[in-house]
Chain A
Amino acid sequence: MTIALPPLASEVVFHLGALPVTNTMVNSFIALVLFAIFAFFLNLGMKKYYAKNQAPKGLVNFFESILEVVLGYIDNVTKDRKKTLKFLPIVGSLFLFILISNWMGLIPGTGSIIRWVSENGHLTAIPVFRPADTDLNMTLAMAVFAVIGAHLIGIFTIGFFKYVNKFIKFGDLYHAIKTLKPINILTAIIEFFVGLIEVFSEIAKMVSLSLRLFGNIFAGEVLLTVLAGLIGGYGAYIIPLPFEGLELLVGLIQAIVFSMLTLVYLTMATTEPHAHVESNIDHKHDTMEFSEVERL
């Protein structure tokens, strides 16, 4: 019996011209097509009910009811409905895309439908489908998008100089020097360097977001593969079942964690910096909230 443990890197299934297409990309495209179909039917429903000003039914009603709950959750973080509506498309898209990508990995055929590719003179079996989030390129792309997007939105919302002063605190240093009090100047110097450290923490955010999602989903794939291979015969069909359920949960939790962290980054980036002491207290409070989510 052989077990094809998935490698860390995604594998090239075929080439589109000169462009290589990996098996995780195939899954991403499928997710994209699914979302396009969903959007098409949702818009059909919206045209039907919204145009006539009728109470929505079916798909539109279902989606609206979910969105109502999601908006409530986002409101709890942003404390502002305007911000919630602004962040919803980003956070919601991340959540749906991650969730569907993770769950697609549990559909039979993912990892088991293979294509024989000739590599260095001998044939290698390459799975045609592989969950998109088991590719670090995918998770990193989303993490980079989330963190850089949060910074850009922050700059556009509170202004370039105010935003940059969160990290490079020349303004605070200048005000401290103006007071001529040594303790203020010392605090400002310390905060200046803390601000510089914050710049590195922004890179850490991208790394932690992407590696957490990649690690969890990839580990799930490996776990399911190993469990299916541990026991032969009918056991291979039964043993992984509870773990499939567990993976459903992991897929959902990871989608929530990624999107909630992005939401927190967005909210923090668009919050105006307060006075000196207050900002420290707020920051500590935010950090506590993060750590609870990050623990997942």
Chain B
Amino acid sequence: MILPEILNSVVYAQEAASGGVAGTLGLNLTYFIGQLITFAIVLLILWKFVFGPVAKKLQERTDKVEKAMSDADRITKEKAEFEKWRQEQMNVARKEASEIVNKSQTDATKAREEILIKAKEDQQKLVDQAKEQIYQEKEQALTSAKSELANLVTTAAEKILRQKLDDKKDAELVKETLKNI
């Protein structure tokens, strides 16, 4: 069945072997050059229009991604550094603010105490002045009242006694009367 064909192919091979091993295997310079040229054209097409541009684009994209990643790392690092710096500055500012507040509180307390002391002093002064004034006015009123009373008494005595005394005696009498009151 298949044997005759195999034998036939062996015969073909033997015929071809008349050209040596190369002839048996079908090696032929013309065919070799033809196939080499075909492959060279395929290589040229694939190199120039397929692998070259696509690989270039892929590499560009890889470079871009790598750059973006390194930029992201740098930015993260810078951000961390900035955050550290900001924290330090915040701490300094907080410390300064705290000092200012403390100083203000101390100053305010001091000022309040001074104002209170001064107010108390002023108050005392006013009270003293008022007392003094009241005392003087009282004294004045008493003097005036005594004088008025003397006149009244004099007038009353004159009227009661219906006797006229000289002024000198009158005054002495009044004085004497007043002392005894």
Contacts and interface: CB of A to CB of B under 8 A. Distances in A.
A89 B52 contact: yes
Contact of B43 (A19, A90, A132): A90
A77 interface: no
Which 10 pairs of residues, A with B, have the shortest CB-CB distance?
Answer: A9-B26, A39-B49, A89-B47, A141-B36, A137-B31, A93-B46, A89-B51, A28-B38, A138-B35, A141-B35
B5 interface: yes
A85 B59 contact: yes
A46 B57 contact: yes
Contact of A32 (B5, B8, B23, B45): B45
Q: Which secondary structure dominates where chain A touches chain B?
A: helix
14 contacts: A3-B2, A5-B6, A10-B26, A19-B34, A20-B31, A25-B35, A50-B53, A64-B54, A67-B54, A67-B55, A89-B52, A90-B47, A93-B47, A229-B1
A136 interface: yes
B55 A85 contact: yes
Interface in B45-80: 45-47, 49-55, 57-59
Interface residues of B, number: 40
B30 A20 contact: yes
B49 A7 contact: no
Contacts, number: 145
B26 A136 contact: yes
A8 B13 CA distance: 7
B27 A136 contact: yes
Given A22-B31, A25-B38, A7 B12 contact: yes
A230 B26 contact: no
Nearest to B25: A136
A71 interface: yes
A63 interface: yes
B46 A137 contact: no
B82 interface: no
B16 interface: yes
A141 B46 contact: no
Interface in A20-67: 20-22, 24-25, 28-29, 31-32, 35-36, 38-40, 42-43, 46, 50, 60, 63-64, 67
Contact of B35 (A5, A42, A96, A132): A132
B38 A39 contact: no
A92 B59 CA distance: 16
A92 B49 CA distance: 13
A211 B25 CA distance: 10
B27 A3 contact: no
Given A7-B9, A10-B26, A46-B53, A92 B46 contact: yes
Contacts of A63: 50, 54
